[in-house]
Structure 1
Amino acid sequence: MIDISPEQARTLAAIVTHGSFDAAAAHLSVTPSAISQRIRALEAAVGRPVLTRARPAGLTESGQAVVRFARQLELLSADLAEELQPEESRGRTSLTLVINGDSLHTWALAGLSAVAGAVQLEILREDQDYSLELLRSGAAAAAITATAAPAAGCTSRRLGVMRYLPVCTPAFAATWFDGGAAAESLATAPVIVFDRKDDLQDRYLRRLSRKPLEPPRHYVPAAHEFGEAIRLGMGWGMMPEIEIAQDFEQERLVPLATKSFVDVPLHWQQWRHGSTALDSVAAAIQEAARALR
């Protein structure tokens, strides 16, 4: 059995949070020598390194597991204190979540607003295909992700499907797709892309052509501004179906083709050993996710 003390786990978490042994020592009000001793004892207990010796210090896979343990211990300690001394005021529990920009822009905030009075949230914005790394490292307690298989130490629940439609303005369609949005025209028509991690537009293009298409690209890394760039006629792009119903009604946007879409499944992954606060946030997110397919 591996015997890791809470003090050792908290020390490792402090090193990662503050970036160095010296900064962790100052935060914990101990000497740098004490920090080094704790990490040596931790690595002896684990049987392998927990840190990569770099600046800033990084975590090995084992170190990630220990930091998750430290963060979970903080949440469970808060639950225990509330149960043992409910009359004392302790302030709100702090939670860090990873949410992709489109979910944050369209439906997730409605759910989080329901629990905002009871918890203190830090939201990290990351693409749903990349969010799990922040969960594995212990930087976040939960994430909305496109991955169904639970990360180590986590549980996974399906939220629904985010459907994206390829759209542009009527004027843009008349200029670039007069003969239809075929592979030939899409190879030259400007496209709006969220950032260099965003694969949605290329995923759609791969369905239409066996060879890679490389149209001119505008990168607009903010959900609201991404949509505005399309509405202003800068290019075409994939937008969430739940966002653009009014645009279709008022004919501000038109689809590139009928029955054309890309579906992205979304899942809620959180630490397996969570807390009352984390479970309440999960319930709120699941309720809000009813807006999805």
Structure 2
Amino acid sequence: LVDKLGALDYLFVSSKPFAEKYFPNGVTRSALLKAPVVAFDHLDDMHQAFLQQNFDLPPGSVPCHIVNSSEAFVQLARQGTTCCMIPHLQIEKELASGELIDLTPGLFQRRMLYWHRFAPESRMMRKVTDALLDYGHKVLRQD
């Protein structure tokens, strides 16, 4: 069984000092070739798709490090170590405080999220499903 939860928007972010160092003239194709980014694992192609779509950079052309922790993405970006794609919902406070900045305002990667489970559902699993769908519909984009 599969239900759509909604969409999550990922932003390309960094700290202000990182942006000043690597993007003094804005985020450009040539500047991106020198700026370190992170990916969750070797299957994570989100930043590559974003950079290819918006800056015509082929996959593998930007220096990329593997970091298997979404929380570490936030910490590394806050510390000025990298720029990366992070879900907007995960960094609302950091964006509001200016600790992180959106490097490409108006540009983002939207990913649809789905809840998968086995059928038939137990009563307990149905309660979990209902709660998850209710919350997902409240906090995720529904367009």
Whether 1:240 and 2:87 are equivalent positions in the alignment is yes
Q: Choose between structure 1 and 2 for higher RCO, CA contacts under 8 A separated by at least 6 residues.
A: 2
Q: CA RMSD in A?
A: 1.4
* Higher helix content, 1 or 2: 1
Q: In the alignment, which residue of structure 2 is the partner of 1:258?
A: 105
Q: In the alignment, which residue of structure 2 is the partner of 1:157?
A: 3
| Alpha-carbon contact 1:191-1:215 (below 8 Å) kept | yes
Q: In the alignment, which residue of structure 1 is the partner of 2:17?
A: 171
| Alpha-carbon contact 1:193-1:220 (below 8 Å) kept | yes
Aligned residue-pair number: 139
| Alpha-carbon contact 1:165-1:260 (below 8 Å) kept | yes
Task: Name the SS of the counterpart of 2:25 in structure 1.
Answer: coil
Q: 1:200 aligns with which of 46, 51, 60?
A: 46
Rounded to whole Å, the distance in 2 between the matches of 1:284 and 1:184 is 46
> Scaled by the length of structure 2, what TM-score is found?
0.90
Deviation of 1:210 (Å): 5.3
> Scaled by the length of structure 1, what TM-score is found?
0.45
Letter paired with 2:95: F
Deviation of 1:163 (Å): 0.6
Whether 1:230 and 2:85 are equivalent positions in the alignment is no
Task: Name the SS of the counterpart of 2:82 in structure 1.
Answer: coil
Q: How does 1:1-293 map to 2 (within 5 A)?
A: 155-207=1-53, 208-209=55-56, 211-289=58-136, 290-293=138-141
Rounded to whole Å, the distance in 1 between the matches of 2:76 and 2:57 is 28
Q: Which runs of 4+ in 1 moved over 4 A?
A: none
| Alpha-carbon contact 1:164-1:261 (below 8 Å) kept | yes
Rounded to whole Å, the distance in 2 between the matches of 1:161 and 1:211 is 26
Letter paired with 1:185: A
| Alpha-carbon contact 1:192-1:229 (below 8 Å) kept | no
Identity among equivalent positions (%) equals 27
5+ residue gaps in structure 1? 1-154
| 1:249–1:224 Cα change, 3 Å | same
Letter paired with 2:92: A
Give deviations 1:214-255, integer Å, cap 9, x for gaps.
222222111211210111111100111112121122111111
